[in-house]
Structure 1
Amino acid sequence: MPRKVDHEQRRRHIVESLLRITGTQGLEAVSLREVAHEAGVSMGAVQHYFATKDEMLLYALQHWLSLSVHDRFAERVRARLTREPSGEPTAALRAIAAEYLPYDEACRSEVLVSMAFLSRAAVAPALAAALAPAFAGFAHTLSTVLQGAGVSIDAPAEAQRLAALLDGLRLPVLVGALSYQDALAVVDRHLALLPTGDLLA
């Protein structure tokens, strides 16, 4: 009896190969041929599941935005808070910032994938639509943490400002224009200005 093919697993295997290429060389290096080579399958197999490169990119982005990347990020934040306990009300915000900025090869690869898709999304409405909930979700997370820190200002508005600050720091750190430590110092100065309930007491 022929073995039943798990088509969804095959699709994931192909786009995970695409993400590995993107994480080291950017989207410019992605082609059906290169993805097939990385995945160890034929060009025909890739084309069987994805008729075009754009279709493959959208599926890859949706896969990347699934639970795995968010779970890994949350786990890194929790681990940092355990390693670097602090009584500061903004400690969780600093841990988020410290993990959001690229500081090792694994983080750099993750940020490179993010930046690559963000750049492509500027001219690809389908990718932009897929990314929009991720931006909203990050701002919502920051707002929730800000409220927990007792920030006595408009938490949703401050979350948008903090998200913009972190996104603005990511690229200079990625390309080496700003060191990771200097970027964290910018974040620390910003967090020090937040009026928390503890500071006002």
Structure 2
Amino acid sequence: MLNRLPADERRAQLVESALTIAERSGVASVTVRAVAEEAGVSLGVVHYCFESKDELLAAMGEALIRQLSESMSASFSQVRHASELRGVTGLRELLHIGLSGMWPIIEATPDRQLLTYEITAQALRHRAVGAGRAGAIADEQYRIMDEEAVAFLDECAAIAGIEWNMPVADIARSGLAMIDGLVLRWLVDRDAEAIVAALDDLARSISDKAIPKES
């Protein structure tokens, strides 16, 4: 007999089953029947939890955003253990700690990283045809990433005792754009050594936008 889970837990189970299918075979392979089989439930259970495939895709995107936010926050929080690093030189080290802290998570989850790009592209297609919730996923993804990056840069600045010479939101945006490109390139060539060098370059580039805080 099927275990009767609370509605939120059942939805979460179905979303994770859908993500597993999408990681394995792509977003196009996510169907109500496939999700039901992966989760070990009836078609009716999936239809009860999600009125349409678009609603399920939106929920998948939202789950990926939460996971992304949690992993970024965990990686960036490592700088709190390096409070002795001061000045622009210390800032570069702090930035490297946070940026390089992200990489093991990315390297361990290549299929989920690829799926994140696929979900983003799918959301942009939905937005182009006026879809509401599903179309907003890409905007929400980058809004959350921007918030995490700004918080990280602000924390690094506070620890190092520096100020930014341009709006921190602009620095975060350009830094995230570079990370996006690095992850996509790594998914193609899996050149880990090139990533280490690129992250160091990114830390140096961002630290160049800092000045000592006036007393």
Question: TM-score of the superposition, structure 2-length normalised?
Answer: 0.74
Equivalent residue number for residue 112 of structure 1: 114
Amino acid at match of 1:106: A
Between the aligned partners of 2:22 and 2:92, the Cα distance in structure 1 is: 34
Q: Which runs of 5+ in 2 are unaligned?
A: 128-132
The total of aligned residue pairs comes to 195
Checking the alignment, whether the CA contact within 8 Å between 1:26 and 1:112 is kept in structure 2 is no
Equivalent residue number for residue 189 of structure 1: 201
Equivalent residue number for residue 34 of structure 2: 34
Equivalent residue number for residue 94 of structure 1: 96
Which stretch of the first structure deviates more once superposed, 112-121 or 148-157? 148-157
Equivalent residue number for residue 168 of structure 1: 181
Q: Which runs of 5+ in 1 are unaligned?
A: none
Checking the alignment, whether the CA contact within 8 Å between 1:153 and 1:195 is kept in structure 2 is yes
Equivalent residue number for residue 144 of structure 2: 137
Q: Percent identity of the aligned residues?
A: 22
Equivalent residue number for residue 75 of structure 1: 74
**Change in CA separation of 1:9 and 1:111 when aligned onto 2, cut-off 3 Å:** same
SS at match of 1:134: helix
Shift of 1:151: 4.9
**Change in CA separation of 1:163 and 1:105 when aligned onto 2, cut-off 3 Å:** closer
Amino acid at match of 2:114: L
Equivalent residue number for residue 170 of structure 2: 157
Checking the alignment, whether the CA contact within 8 Å between 1:93 and 1:142 is kept in structure 2 is no
Shift of 1:16: 1.0
SS at match of 1:197: strand
**Change in CA separation of 1:131 and 1:22 when aligned onto 2, cut-off 3 Å:** same
